[in-house]
Amino acid sequence: MAGIFNKLTGATDMTKTAADTSNLKKKILYEQERIQEVMLEIGKQYYNNPKADLSNLCNDIDDRKRRIANMKNELHSIKGLRVCSNCGTKFDDKYTFEFCGKCGAKLPNED
């Protein structure tokens, strides 16, 4: 079994792409967390003053959503690479198993 996985993960020139991928995913996660925080802030401000001008905060969320969409496009343009979020092993798009061949963790979905 291990032999099959080694063959599938043998490519070495993927390192940079994989770093880009995990970097993008981290940035997307960060933006998503910030959106949650801004959402909370909007709720708080609205509670304190329903007439408060919340457009700046709403625009902030829109900006972040745009950024996330751009980064997701970028992710998709990095050709069919899947990285195990647990151990960092990279798999190319021919690897169709749902679980990491190295540590057995569930692999992330395409998006």
Q: Would you tell me which residues interact with Zn ion (CB under 5 A)? A: 84, 86-87, 89, 100, 102-103, 105
Cβ distance to Zn ion smaller for residue 25 or 102: 102
Which residue has tokens 């745009």? 66
Encoding tokens for residue 5? 């996985």
Cβ distance to Zn ion smaller for residue 46 or 97: 97
Cα 16–Cα 21–Cα 22 angle in degrees, nearest 5: 100
What torsion do the CA atoms of 41, 46, 47, 52 make, to the nearest 10 degrees?
A: 120
Cβ distance to Zn ion smaller for residue 6 or 59: 6
Which backbone phi and psi does 93 adopt, to 5 degrees?
-70, -5
Could you tell me the smallest distance in angstroms from the CB atom of residue 78 to Zn ion?
19
Could you tell me the smallest distance in angstroms from the CB atom of residue 14 to Zn ion?
15
Could you tell me the smallest distance in angstroms from the CB atom of residue 61 to Zn ion?
34
Could you tell me the smallest distance in angstroms from the CB atom of residue 110 to Zn ion?
17
Q: Which of 81, 83, 75 is nearest to 101 (CA)?
A: 83
Cβ distance to Zn ion smaller for residue 39 or 105: 105
